[in-house]
Amino acid sequence: MPSQFSPSARGKLASPLASALAVVAAASLFVGGAHATDAPRLVEKDGRHALMVDGAPFLMLGVQANNAANYPSQLPKVWPAVKALHANTLEIPVAWEQIEPVEGQFDFSYVDVLLKQARENDVRLVLLWFGTWKNNGPNYAPEWVKLDNKRFPRVITAKGETRNSLSPHFPATLEADKKAFAALMRHLKTADPDHTVIMIQPENETGTYNAVRDHSPTAQKLFEGPVPAQLVKAMGKKPGTWSQVFGKDADEFFHAWSIGRFVDEVAAAGKRELALPMYVNAALRDPFNYQDPYTYSSGGPTWNVLDVWKAAAPSIDAIAPDIYMRESANVRKTLEQYARPDNALFVPEIGDDKGFARFFYDVLGAHALGFSPFGLDYTGYSNYPLGAKTVDAQALENFAVHYRLLAPMAREWARLSYTGDVWGVGEADDRKAETLKLGDRWTATVSYGEWQFGSIDAPWMGKADKQPNREVPDGGALIARLSANEFLVTGYRARVSFGSAKGERFMMARVEEGHFENGQWVFDRLWNGDQTDYGLNLTTLPQVLKVKLATY
């Protein structure tokens, strides 16, 4: 592989790096010109994924607006937060009740205002379709839907109690939702020719609370019938009834399949109008231990039913976890569960207080398409205890420090993550150093709480002060492979110390600090001496390094 390094003068590029980057720049110009209106799409290669936007991989530095931010009156309280965060993508709801308040009469005035203002703010959009399901219930469906139990029946529990959740088994509900969603996508096709909207989330946190499945006579009849052949095959099972095939999991798998099929039909109807990438989000269950499905949103795409959902919903491009668990072990396990060769990882919601921000590094290290804290805007709501107590400038800054670092190199990171090896780690709850294996030859140990000079555990450090402002873990580091022995390194309040996996004598032959400008690497200086003797100490400044390792 050609070296990414070459003698280069401050601010100037020299061959061969210059020529390699010139090719990339030329390619991006082409992308910006001839392919600027390419529809966004999800691509997969060798089990890695990318969201292609304007013809090239795109990293979503996202933010999700609060639920009731979906009105023109609220948007002026949203854009300043997006800007302060340095986010490039806004996730925001479009509610069924606002676009079809009267059956068959559509009103897209909010959508049009949103599109116009997003363009003016140079921000891409992910639209959240709050339809049949919004956190298990139809609260965002129009009144002509949510108050008509006869035409749009609700889930009935095993004990005969009615839940708020709508049943997935009734064609009238499916047809009404499909019709409204298709109308939205048809409208986007003409109103958004430049693809300001890059992804769509049909429904929101599907499933049912306080019931494992629908027990209405209609549902019961289906439950007592055969498992559809498509699912039997996908799960590698023998044909039979739901109970015969899935035993104790039958109720939950039946509900997951039924909701998955429903959502798939909604998504497919939308894609027939405009084929944008579509994902569903999951209200999570315990990532390690058994949890009674009665206690979470049963039938939603929790980790234990991902294979059921994959078989049920081929029109859904990705299944995404909404992360409100605070423990680093739980977050990492969840990322492992949802980052699969057959499932692009995307975190469309994560808690918005400081303790969650460090997971940005774990998420990007797991090759994610993007990351998006929930509820960072000035519409006057905060979802403590799942997130910050107050949404103010400081709350935004807790995430902005990380977005500011990645924003100038978001396209480069997305490309590296799609085409090669990347690693990332956020400071874990035990605050301990962690060693990443960078292939067969190299390792990188990421540690926290170090000063830039010396090591906190060295005896000669004596009574040196502890690093201040470490009440909440907030460090993290990202590494991407540039070639066999060369790595791009960045991070926040972390020390990165490279090592040889084979115990060879090695050194950092060259540590180049630079930055990205218009997709091009710009050399700033070399790090050496005090700047490298104690590892690479990434501070609160936006620092990006290219590191060449060698043995001697």
DSSP label of 428: P
Is 214 a binder of ligand DGJ (CB under 6 A)?
Answer: no
Strand partners, 128: 93, 201
- Tell me how far apart the alpha carbons of residues 53 and 40 are, in angstroms, rounded to a whole number: 5
Is 135 a binder of ligand DGJ (CB under 6 A)?
Answer: yes
Closest separation in Å from C-beta 372 to ligand DGJ: 11
DSSP label of 343: B
Is 382 a binder of ligand DGJ (CB under 6 A)?
Answer: no
First to last CA, the chain: 20
Annotate 106-174 with DSSP letters as a single string. ---HHHHHHHHHHHHTT-EEEEEEEEEEETTB-TTS-HHHHT-TTTSPEEE-TTSPEEEEEPTT-HHHH
Pairing outcome for strands 476-483 and 506-517:
unpaired
Residues between 282 and 341 with contacts to ligand DGJ, criterion CB under 6 A: 322
Pairing outcome for strands 494-500 and 89-95:
unpaired
Closest separation in Å from C-beta 349 to ligand DGJ: 6
Size of the site for ligand DGJ (CB under 6 A): 9
Closest separation in Å from C-beta 133 to ligand DGJ: 10
Closest separation in Å from C-beta 387 to ligand DGJ: 7
Is 383 a binder of ligand DGJ (CB under 6 A)?
Answer: yes
Is 132 a binder of ligand DGJ (CB under 6 A)?
Answer: no
Binding mask 6-35 for ligand DGJ (x = CB under 6 A): ------------------------------
Of 349, 353, 427, 474, which lies in the binding site for ligand DGJ, with binding defined by CB under 6 A? 349
- Cβ closer to ligand DGJ: 126 or 156? 126
Closest separation in Å from C-beta 358 to ligand DGJ: 19
- Cβ closer to ligand DGJ: 155 or 323? 323
Is 374 a binder of ligand DGJ (CB under 6 A)?
Answer: yes
- Cβ closer to ligand DGJ: 205 or 214? 205
- Cβ closer to ligand DGJ: 135 or 537? 135
Closest separation in Å from C-beta 135 to ligand DGJ: 5
- Residues 264 and 315 sit within 8 Å (Cβ to Cβ): yes
Is 117 a binder of ligand DGJ (CB under 6 A)?
Answer: no
Closest separation in Å from C-beta 97 to ligand DGJ: 15
- Cβ closer to ligand DGJ: 97 or 349? 349
Closest separation in Å from C-beta 68 to ligand DGJ: 10
Residues between 50 and 109 with contacts to ligand DGJ, criterion CB under 6 A: 67
- Cβ closer to ligand DGJ: 134 or 402? 134
- Tell me how far apart the alpha carbons of residues 493 and 540 are, in angstroms, rounded to a whole number: 6
- Residues 409 and 58 sit within 8 Å (Cβ to Cβ): no
Of 386, 428, 478, 489, which lies in the binding site for ligand DGJ, with binding defined by CB under 6 A? 386
Residue 435 vs residues 432, 442, 475, 482, 501: alpha-carbon distances, Å: 10, 10, 15, 19, 10
- Cβ closer to ligand DGJ: 196 or 281? 281
260 C-beta neighbours (distance < 10 Å), count: 27
- Cβ closer to ligand DGJ: 386 or 416? 386
Residues between 245 and 274 with contacts to ligand DGJ, criterion CB under 6 A: none
Residue labelled with tokens 């997130």: 387
CB pairs under 8 A, 24+ apart, for 329-332? Answer: 329/288, 329/428, 329/429, 330/286, 330/287, 330/288, 331/359, 331/362, 332/362
Q: How far is CA 112 from the centre of its chain?
A: 25
Is 205 a binder of ligand DGJ (CB under 6 A)?
Answer: yes
Q: Which residue is nearest to ligand DGJ (CB)?
A: 383
Strand partners, 102: 105
What would you report as the CA-atom Rg of the chain, rounded to the nearest whole angstrom? 25
- Cβ closer to ligand DGJ: 138 or 476? 138
Reported as half-sphere exposure (CB side, CA atoms, 13 A), residue 482 has a value of 21
Closest separation in Å from C-beta 371 to ligand DGJ: 15
Q: What SS3 string covers 18-84?
A: HHHHHHHHHHHHHHHHCCCCCCCEEEEECCEEEEEECCEEECEEEEECCHHHCCCCCHHHCHHHHHH
Closest separation in Å from C-beta 523 to ligand DGJ: 44
Q: Which of 88, 65, 117 is nearest to 404 (CA)?
A: 88
- Cβ closer to ligand DGJ: 386 or 511? 386
- Cβ closer to ligand DGJ: 205 or 377? 205
Contact set with ligand DGJ (CB under 6 A)? 67, 135, 204-205, 322, 349, 374, 383, 386
